[in-house]
Amino acid sequence: MLQLTFIRENKDLTLAGLRKRHFANADAIIEQVLSLDQKRRDTQRDLDDTLARSNAKAKEIGALMKTGDKAAADAAKAETAELKVRSKDLEEVLRTTEQQLEEVLVTIPNIPHSSVPEGRTPDDNEVVLEHGNKPDLPADAQPHWELIKKYDIIDFELGVKIAGAGFPVYKGKGARIQRALINFFLDEALKAGYVEVQPPIVVNEDSGFGTGQLPDKEGQMYYVTEDKLYLIPTAEVPITNLYRDVILPESQLPVRNVGYTPCFRREAGSWGAHVRGLNRLHQFDKVEIVRIERPDQSYAALEEMSLHVQSLLQKLELPYRVLRLCGGDMGFTSALTYDMEVWSAAQQRWLEVSSVSNFETYQANRLKLRSKLDGKMQLMHTLNGSALALPRILASILENNQTPDGIRIPQALVPYCGFDVIN
């Protein structure tokens, strides 16, 4: 959530950022925020003045009673009663105004970083770099949804029987390569200095609000009605919320956490060939990296996280590219996002496998996540990234490494799999 002081002191910058995002009615909404903020401050000032007068009058009553001036004391008491009524009225106005202000603020997305390109759609995203050679497969190469049936490693029909579409059953070497990828990603993160955590896979409403999934994305999350809990869409939510309402000692910065969890997304409205097989699921596995940084070091950390994800793709021998997302394609809470896409040789298209984002103070403001730096209490910068999500990684490994003798396993995964070919 944007800070009120930032909006108040940087109105033009705020509006320019919201326009880059193509945020509807930006001018009217910011004017509403500033108007409510002014009303809140005026009401608070009136309330403070009324309470001060009431306290002073109470002391005056005591002095008048001591002198025996009952008439003056009674008049002072009547005035005090009026001040108490006024203070209660002002407290109600203040409470209502603060609530209205909060309701508007949570609808406003983060302000893009200055490097974010203009644009509305994924076609406007900026290609930062492309790495690796695209494999040249024979004409009869198959997409992964055919390969998994050929080698009997993933069963979508069993998943439908048990739960429904989008919940595959991994078996045999399919299950083993899933476990191999998870352990490989975790081990690489530990080598890079991340501390592993194993968080819950359900969160409460406060946690969803803290990282910005609520009230923006409730329609994409599975909800456990009786318990009022949400199945997590990503480990970002529980891991970042470990630090909700926390004042971190400067000595503990930066925070680097990594965690593996299953993730759940309703993906309402998704259909067509682009979501076949592993391309889009309701349940999938993902390893997530989360960082909490000093504000002056967060963008260096973002570049470091991007390089970490790229190193994983290089070790898996997958051709990939890095995109800087344009203003219209960015997530609600992000200030700058890099997407990593791998090349799917059989589908002949790029598949997104990771987003690495800097949220600056947007999440920290909701989380009340702070640290005392240089003698001043400050909101921290939060960052996270997929390192990595498994389904499309597995799809690309299967497609790009198919041979007449089976599917070759990337060398970095062989020690984790215990086999070097699926046949």
**Where is the binding site for ATP, in residues?**
265-267, 352-355
* C-alpha to C-alpha distance for 259 and 182, rounded to whole angstroms: 10
Structure token pair of residue 188: 């690489």
The interaxial angle of helices 144-151 and 390-400, nearest 10 deg, is 80
Query: CB–CB of 289/366 below 8 Å?
Result: no
Whose CA is closest to 175, among 384, 418, 359, 400?
A: 418
Q: Which of 270, 254, 285 is nearest to 392 (CA)?
A: 285
The single-letter DSSP state of residue 263 is: E
Joined tokens for residue 194 = 């991340």
- Tally Cβ neighbours within 10 Å of residue 324: 18
CA distances from 337 to 219, 238, 306, 322, 333 (A): 23, 20, 10, 10, 10
Q: Dihedral of CA 240/242/244/248: which sign?
A: negative
Report CA 44 to chain centroid distance, whole Å. Answer: 33
> Tokens standing for 39?
């009303």
Is 322:306 a contact under the CB 8 Å cutoff? yes
Please tell me the number of Cα atoms within 13 Å of 389 on its side-chain side.
29
User: Quick check: 117 and 326 in contact, CB under 8 A?
Assistant: yes
| CA 263, chain centre distance (Å) | 13
C-alpha span between 46 and 232 (Å, rounded): 44
Nearest alpha carbon to residue 329 among 112, 129, 130:
112
Annotated binding-site residue numbers for L-serine? 234, 265, 288, 384
Residue type, 253: L
Closest CA to 154 of 419, 390, 370: 390
**Binding site: what residues are annotated?**
234, 265-267, 288, 352-355, 384
**Count of beta carbons in the 10 Å neighbourhood of residue 393:** 25
